Chain A
Amino acid sequence: MFLSMMSWTSSAQDSLWIARGEWPHIPDSVQSIRFNANSDWTSINATLSRVPDQLSTLVLINSDSIMHTWKLEAEGEQEWEIGGFDTLSLNIPALAAGAYRFGLTNEVGRVLGASGQLQVGLDVDFPLFHWNLGDWSIDRMVAADLGLPIAWDAPYIPEQFTINERTYPATVDDVDALVTMSLGDTCLISIVNHGFMDHVFHFHGFHVTIVSSTLHPERVGWSKDTSPILRGEALVVQLVANQIGMYPVHNHNLIAVTNAGFYPGGMITQIHVMP
């Protein structure tokens, strides 16, 4: 299913900053922790890219004051601890083509949303889009930021649902989330679920072919218009633009297409196919 990986040309991001700051895309403006590509704060997590089947390195710079634990969810999963204001160099193992989730696994880092995706060999022949999915309980985030206990036993009622840390309609201003194509083109979409619950995405207008999945490998090759992305799953789908028009793509668990309970919002983006 995968393509020749020899023509990889993009430059690899070799450093990630762990940073804490305000998240302006949701009205509560809560504090969040993110992986940034440089020392400038942004509330959008950075994406990593690598070539297949090659070892590589990554430098983690923790600009937060507390210790965090970094994990790459791939075969032979490994965790690394990094102290406050510390720097760590780690090895990324040789991986097959596909998408992989990475993130902070300690409670504060996880709840405040430091998580991203590692794309291996995906930006070769086709345009690549990516969706990092998140579900957010403001109460949990505020507690985590203040170092207070989190009520894990309470029913989980997230109020915000995001694609690349944005809620609809801001998702369609995101060039990574809005899929723009010309008729007849093919693209890949790399989707990773960083949330605390499973999600399920429905494509209007198109079926997509599953190219890789970390948790549903038996589904590779399936043609779907509605696909679950389980908690922690990284899924890559291929889309062929066989008709023109504007088509929504959205979570079909319909509590997740809302912003603070109001429809439409949350996990919605679009596919635009031009003649």
Chain B
Amino acid sequence: MRQFRIFVLICAFSGSLLCSGQMAPPQLFSGMEGFTFLSDGTAIPIWGYGWVADGYITLPGPLLEYNQNDFVQLNFTNPSPESHTIHLHGLDVDQVNDGVPATSFYVTTGEEATYSFTANHPGTFLYHCHVTTTLHLTMGMYGMILVNRPDMMLYDGGPAYAENAPILFSDLAIETNMNPVQSFPFHDIRPDVFMVNGVSGNQLEQAEHIITFEAGQPIALRLGSMAYSLLRLDFPEELHATCYMSDGRPLPEPLEVVELDIFPGERFTVMIEPDAGWDGYIPCEFWNIPDQQFEDEQLIRVRDASLDVPTLGTNDSPAGFPNPTRSSITWGGLESICVFDAGGSMVFQGALLQGKLDVQSWPAGLYTAILSDGRRSRFSVIH
């Protein structure tokens, strides 16, 4: 309860700055009481990062985007019961901003900190907690950073692109996430859920996870891995995939790619210019590194935006997922909804109060909401 109060105060403070006309930079917080939902609806505990203004943590953490040469001040607050940090992976920041407790500093419970750096190089980077790193990453404390150029070129003299598609691979070990206190020894952590942008299986067929393109408009795939596994991507020839960058630096020569291996912590920028009308998948294989065994395959769908193809209902916004820092779900701009439980029975029909549905007293379970504009949204209630 105390954490919740601290959290509300931070939100209010942030809001007052915005109301007074001052520019308050976005502020990340760390939490240890979140959940992610597997494709079968199972709720798995996570630790992670979220925007203070949103009030919930996500898997992966929020995408941080900056422009090249920005002087960044990333404000971070830690209301969670353990110390955390933010390591700015690949940005080559100075020692004090490196996020390694032994050489930089801890952000202990209730503390705030600011990480400062200049985003010198455009490219794809990562961030993650560097406290007891093996455990905190497994629990979900990571995200992606993009440093863009306003002229939409990958780098000075590089090719131009129409859109970024950030793709962060990761995995989790259910047993560890369910019981992190008993997760020793760490060397035998072997993941069993393999994710693309925090989801897997048929969740990747939801509209928000499909990469859509307009013919002739190149898309920059921003690929990064926080997985324990080796990622092996196969690019269909219709995508005309070319790798231009790795780890935030241009390659000496662009590389046409058919197969691409991505090891933990690596990043690649691959440009695709799919054939008009194409609708297909990029297969992403996850391989166990110690045993060199195939573990799982996830499929990233790429589709011509002009195609009229039905897709699974969208989750609309991450606010559709409640967690212990929130008691309600928010759908902005909607008047009414119908909600069905997992058995298909309607459990709610009516108006939203200020766009919010209070689920605090609802039984735990998986629900589907039919929104008044026709969209569908799934959410779980957990206690």
- Name the CB-closest residue of A to B251: A222
Chain B interface size, as a band, is 35 or more
A residues with a Cβ closer than 8 A to B are 135, 155-159, 161, 196-198, 200, 202, 204-207, 218, 221-228, 243-248, 252-258, 260-264
Are A207's CB and B263's CB within 8 A? Answer: no
In the complex, per-residue mask of B111-155: 1 if CB is within 8 Å of any chain A CB, else 0: 000000000000000000000111101100000000000000000
A204 touches B246 (CB 8 A): no
Q: Is the Cβ of A225 less than 8 Å from the Cβ of B248?
A: yes
Contacting residue for A247 out of B98, B264, B292, CB 8 A = B98
Q: Is the CB of B228 within 8 A of A254?
A: yes
Tell me, yes or no, whether B40 is within 8 Å of chain A by CB.
Answer: no
Report the stretch among B76-84, B179-187, B194-202, B210-218 that lies at the interface.
B179-187
The answer for the CA separation of A157 and B132 in the assembled complex, in Å, is: 20
Taking a contact as CB atoms closer than 8 A, the residue among A207, A247, A248 that contacts B249 in the complex is: A207
Minimum CB–CB distance for A157 against chain B, Å: 5
Residue of chain B at shortest CB distance from A197: B290
Q: Are B95 and A245 closer than 8 Å at their CB atoms?
A: yes
**Complex CA distance for A155 and B190, rounded to whole angstroms:** 11
Counting residue pairs across A and B whose Cβ atoms lie within 8 Å, the total is 133
Chain A residue with minimal CB distance to B224? A226
For B190, the closest partner residue in chain A by CB is A155
Instruction: Determine if A223 and B263 form an interchain contact, defined as CB atoms under 8 angstroms apart.
Output: no
Tell me, in angstroms, the Cα distance from A198 to B230 when the chains sit together: 9
The 7 tightest CB contacts between A and B, nearest first, are A261-B185, A245-B95, A252-B265, A200-B263, A223-B249, A226-B265, A254-B134
Residues of A within 8 A of B100 (CB): 204, 248
B95 touches A252 (CB 8 A): no
A200 near B290 with CB under 8 A, answer no
Question: Contacts A158-B290, A204-B98, A245-B94: A260 and B247 contacting too (C-beta < 8 A)?
Answer: no
Give the CA-CA distance A274 to B111 in the complex, in Å: 31
> Does B252 interact with chain A (Cβ within 8 Å)?
yes
Closest to A242 in B: B92
With beta carbons under 8 angstroms apart, the residue of A198, A226, A262 that contacts B184 is: A262
Interface string of B261-277 (1 = CB under 8 A from A): 10111110000000000
Which residues from A are CB-within-8-Å of B93?
205
